[in-house]
Amino acid sequence: MFMVMLGFGIIIPVLPYYAKSFGADSLELGYLMAVYSVMNFIFAPIWGGISDRIGRKPVLMIGLAGFAASYFLFGMATELWQLFATRIMAGVLSAAALPTVMAYVADVTTEETRARGMGMIGAAAGLGFIFGPAIGGTFSRFGDSVPFFIAGALVVANFIFAAFVLRESMSAEQRMENRAKKESSWAAFKAPLSYLFMMQFVVTLSLAGLEATFAFYSLDTFGADEFDMAMIFMIMGIAGAIVQGGLIGRLTKWLGEPGVIQLGLVTSIIGFLLITQVNSFTTAAIYLTIFGMGNGMIRPAVSALISKKTSAGQGSSMGLLGSMDSLGRIAGPVVGGSLYKAGMAVPYIAGAVISLLAMIMFFTYRKKESS
């Protein structure tokens, strides 16, 4: 997961400039970014369900192959429409990777170690996003398409590693049993778990809104530049990786998944409210880190809780959770950008309110689950 997200992180800082070199305007760039998430939203539960029936490894290999091919095709593109076609293909095929990795972790962990395993996945992804942009920015000086070829090469190496080292986590009997069920990709979306899926959507919505507006907010409040923003988000990412990779297991043993989710939501609300008081690089780094630590607690605990409680397949359940993330990332920048026009602090006040709504959804889940 680290290698996949490292490759993904490499292209993030150069993608806008690369698209503009093909004549893309700001609206077309927005569509180019959004179409990937739309495809992920549609296909993540489908691929997850397929992994329940045929096994994790072949679906993961399809996802890695899709990532690699999309990077190489992106680097070889000569027309804007080719960027869109490649981005759509990447969204369809790469959707096979993340839910399958999470389902794999659910297969090979016990209920006691599930949250720690999910946290390690989140930490690996976060570290990839921390180091990837630095690599991409460095190698972009050698040519606009170079970062895409480097990212593709990393995923090819990952593909080879998985092909020879990774073992299938599902027995033949489990796969046959899942094929006999013939359940829908959305089979996991039913009460009371539906409240957890909806909660994850609004949590991601608030996070994506913050990510889309914080650069403008920092510029307007204390004149932050690109380097300041890179450092702030790197500090936030490292803190989140520490929480997910090291602390989440201990917190889960102490509080259980429900307690960790509540702690994460409360910390996120505090972080959002503190962000409205940002007036310097130092306060921005501290307050965003507080928010990031809270947000970093939520996803692993939600993933572990769903994987324990679902009656559907692990693949389709994790795929559906990935769809909720994608939907939040589609809507979040639009909502955040619109709210920012109403006032600089409005997206973060709204983020606190949305997090409170997530808390209500969680309490509703607990009530229905216990009844």
High-pLDDT (> 70) share of the chain, %: 100
Instruction: Specify whether the CB–CB gap between 139 and 131 falls below 8 A.
Output: no
Residue 250's SS3 state is: helix
- The band of 212, judged by pLDDT with boundaries at 50, 70 and 90, is confident
- pLDDT score at 7: 83
CB contact set of 74 (below 8 Å; sequence gap of 6+) = 11, 18, 83, 86, 87, 90, 145, 148
Q: pLDDT, tens digit, for every residue of 152-187?
A: 999 999 999 999 999 999 999 999 888 888 777 788
**CA gap 94, 5 in Å, rounded:** 11
**Can you point out the beta strands (E) in the chain?**
none
Is the confidence at residue 238, as pLDDT, over 90?
no
- pLDDT score at 105: 95
CATH tag for 2-370 (out of 3.30.450.20, 3.40.50.10680, 1.20.1250.20, 3.30.70.360): 1.20.1250.20
Reading the block at residue 298, the tokens are 């939520």
- The band of 235, judged by pLDDT with boundaries at 50, 70 and 90, is confident
- pLDDT score at 20: 85
**Quick one: DSSP state of residue 243?**
I
- The band of 121, judged by pLDDT with boundaries at 50, 70 and 90, is very high
Residue 226's SS3 state is: helix
- The band of 140, judged by pLDDT with boundaries at 50, 70 and 90, is confident
- The band of 246, judged by pLDDT with boundaries at 50, 70 and 90, is confident
The count of residues in the chain is 371
| Residue ranges of domains in the chain | 2-370
Q: pLDDT, tens digit, for every residue of 64-118?
A: 999 999 999 999 999 999 999 999 999 999 899 988 999 999 999 999 999 999 9
Q: Name residue, tokens 């006032």.
A: 343
For the chain, the average pLDDT equals 91
Instruction: Specify whether the CB–CB gap between 40 and 91 falls below 8 A.
Output: yes
